[in-house]
Amino acid sequence: MKFFVDTAEIAEIRELQDTGLLDGVTTNPSLVKKSGRDFLEVVKEIAGVVKGPVSAEVVATDYDGMMREAEVLRNIADNIAVKVPLTIDGLKTCKSLTSEGTMVNVTLCFSANQALLAAKAGASFISPFVGRLDDISQPGIELIADIRLIYDNYDFATEILVASVRNPIHILEAAKIGADAMTAPAAVIKQLFKHPLTDNGIAAFLKDWEATGQKI
């Protein structure tokens, strides 16, 4: 499973990049607003830090507007994935961009039917939002299983990029299903490292080592 971090904070990206575990970055207008920086400047810097796909989202809602903004975004760097919403105009934009060799991340997916349409439009990534479905008492992880089944049935190349990840359980369940990638806040990714028995083991080893009085 590929690990993407969902952030526009360069410090968080650099920290995870140093672990060697980071495969890409996803951003959106809300995250960029939170960073307090210029959108294009942030995207350019992120694309220079990571080698993998960097999703940068259009804000236009019509086809012409999306294509105009996509042209600006994809010229920033070769690893930019233009992020479009799952609407008719969004999928029309997706088809045009992927036909020209541009990576496209279709976002705001909440149903398997939507995911099927995105795959037929040639999406590089589909981003189903599991956490937001959980918020309205619909099991988001079941959507991932449905999409995996459909994509496997027809050998679609579109990668399932699980989004709106709120906790390590979302990541675990998505990995068990066979999702291609997930994107989560840095804090959630860091939770994957943690286990009380690991911490206790380190503490015990250090205590015993200190008692020997030796040095390495």
Q: 161 pairs with which residues across the strands?
A: 181
Distances (CA, A) of 202 to 29, 103, 192: 41, 43, 17
CA angle 185, 52, 37 (to 5 degrees): 55
DSSP letters for 60-99: --SHHHHHHHHHHHHTT-TTEEEEEESSHHHHHHHHHHHH
85/96 Cα distance (integer angstroms):
14
Q: Which of 44, 83, 92, 95 is catalytic?
A: 83
Active site residue 83: yes
- For β-strands 125-128 and 103-109, DSSP reports them as parallel
The structure tokens 């951003």 sit at 27
Tokens of 87: 């609407």
Which residues are the active-site residues?
Answer: 83
